Homo-oligomer: A and B are copies of this chain.
Amino acid sequence: MDSIEILEKLHRIDRERLHLEKTVALLQWDQETYLPEMGVEERAEQLALLESIAHERLTSPETEKRLSELGSTAENPQGDEKLPPLERDFLKTFRRKYDRAVKLPATFVSEAARAEGLSQAAWVRARQDNDFSAFLPHLVKMIDFSRRKAVYWGYEDNPYDGLLDIYESGMGEKEIGAVFTPLGERLKELLKKIASRPRPDNSFLDQDFDIDNQACFNMDLLKRLGFDIRRGRMDISAHPFTTTLGSDDVRITTRYLKQQVQSGIFSTIHEAGHAFYEMNFSEVLRGSCLADGASMGIHESQSRLWENVIGRSRSFWEAMFPALRSYFPAALSSHTAEEFYRAINLVEPSLIRIEADEVTYSLHIILRFELERELFSGALDPVNLPTAWRKKMKDFFGIEPETDAQGVLQDVHWSMGAFGYFPSYALGNLYGLQFWEKLSCEIPAVDEQIRAGNFTAIHAWLRDTIYVWGHRLDPQDLLKTVTGKELSAEPFLGYIESKYSVIYGF
């Protein structure tokens, strides 16, 4: 067999892996949207079976055989130098998936999955009961499983690096800390300045906004943003998410709160940003492991760019507010686009990450990053986590949660063992503004276009500059390729400081 034939066989294995992954994604999407309440238990069994089949097929001896026939090894994942660059990128990415899967013993995987299930259930109860001690033994187990996972996969300096690498390949705690620490300081300063200024009025957002009308407006908005409903859809779920069920089947969800019309709107825009990325990888990557985002952080850069930089801009609401007002004349007819813009950009210290504004959001992330780092270095004993949480909240925001439910128990991530995931949210903010800086140079009148509700040039630039790469480049390489620069918080800080100094007048 020549290398073309072997590559074909490997692409077929990859394509089947993808189909199984997408089938799992459908089972999950359905669970979050339409599954009847009593169907949950059997769905868990279906998911476990499909995941084990996917694992079994990916790690079959044929995969290793084909990879090594093409010269791909742990040391030289890209394989034979004579292969075309695209195929070498494919081999690198595919081998990474294969290695990740094959390095974890099957017993460990199923043991961890069972423990995660129990841990999540315990977390739900503990949060309800505001009882951290009931969750503690599960948290300890989750840390232990994550540590063992990092050992199986290998890491350079410390286990936490091995976990960060899952979500943001090439980024360790040193690299992230070097950016996050000064970012946190600057944001804390900014927050103090803002707190000294009068608070804009956002009380008119507390009115009732009919849910059906919200659904109509959001669908309208989604289409105006350029979402192609022949290749995707939008449904409702408790926690909004984006999932890709096929190259031409990218689905987002949103949710509507009667008294906070902005909640649904920004969920919709955020998830649409993820979807635009997923819908526009280069055609040549279609159906392979390269048809994927570069990393969690890069993915988040796209959702946050649409949600915040575009979606929370004055220009955007000059374009969209008339439509919004037409859906809610009673609530909004006496208000202007400018008032709405100020109301949705209100900044204040708050307890809950997912409700945070653009300025404080990254602080919530830095807090979690610092705690994770201490948990894995051993400097922080999990039993002391609630105290450490409160102390950092006081330091970062000047407020403290009254309960652990509103504090250390608020997020699902740790209960699932997803340590190292949080940083990607704040990295997304940074990447996003680095990309936007470049985009603004290359599309000079971008603000005018947003004001006209015209996103064509933005879509084209993002597609041709970022999306086209899919998973071919690691996040830092993509950043360098697109912007010519290394990771930096400056564009983000510049954007935040200039936007909010105008809103708050300092």
Contact = CB atoms under 8 A, between A and B. Distances in A.
Copies in the complex: 2
Contacts of A230: 36-38
Contacts of A245: 39
A356 interface: no
Contacts of A35: 249
Contacts of A34: 233, 235
Contacts of A45: 15, 19
B19 A231 contact: no
A20 interface: yes
A41 B19 CA distance: 12
A248 B36 contact: yes
Contacts of A247: 42
Contacts of A36: 229-233, 248-249, 251
Interface centre among A231, A235, A246, A287 (most CB of B within 10 A): A246
Interface residues of A, number: 36
Contacts of A251: 36
A189 to B, nearest CB: 47
A49 interface: yes
Contact of A231 (B30, B39, B287): B39
A26 B20 contact: no
A188 interface: no
A77 B19 CA distance: 36
A43 B233 contact: no
Interface in A203-259: 229-233, 235, 245-249, 251
Nearest to A232: B36
Given A23-B23, A38-B230, A246 B30 contact: no
Contacts of A400: none
A231 B40 CA distance: 10
A375 interface: no
Contacts of A37: 230
Contacts of A39: 231, 245-246, 248-249
If over half of A's interface residues share one DSSP class (helix, strand or loop), that class is named, otherwise mixed; here it is: helix
B30 A46 contact: no
Given A26-B30, A233-B34, A249 B43 contact: yes
A6 interface: no
A34 to B, nearest CB: 6
A246 B26 contact: no
A26 B232 CA distance: 18
A16 interface: yes
A344 to B, nearest CB: 30
Nearest to A43: B246
A113 interface: no
A215 to B, nearest CB: 13
A50 interface: yes
Nearest to A41: B248
A243 to B, nearest CB: 12
Contacts of A30: 26, 30
Contacts of A285: none
A498 to B, nearest CB: 40
Contacts of A38: 230-231, 248-249
Contacts of A235: 34
A223 to B, nearest CB: 14
Contacts of A399: none
A229 B34 CA distance: 11
Contact of A16 (B16, B26, B49, B248): B49
Given A26-B26, A231-B38, A19 B248 contact: no
Nearest to A30: B26
A180 to B, nearest CB: 39
A53 interface: yes
A468 interface: no
Contacts of A27: 23, 26
Given A19-B49, A36-B251, A42-B249, 12 more contacts: A23-B23, A23-B27, A26-B26, A26-B27, A30-B30, A36-B249, A38-B231, A39-B245, A39-B248, A41-B248, A42-B248, A46-B246
6 contacts: A19-B45, A23-B46, A35-B249, A36-B251, A38-B230, A38-B248
The 4 closest A-B pairs by CB, nearest first: A39-B249, A38-B248, A42-B246, A19-B46
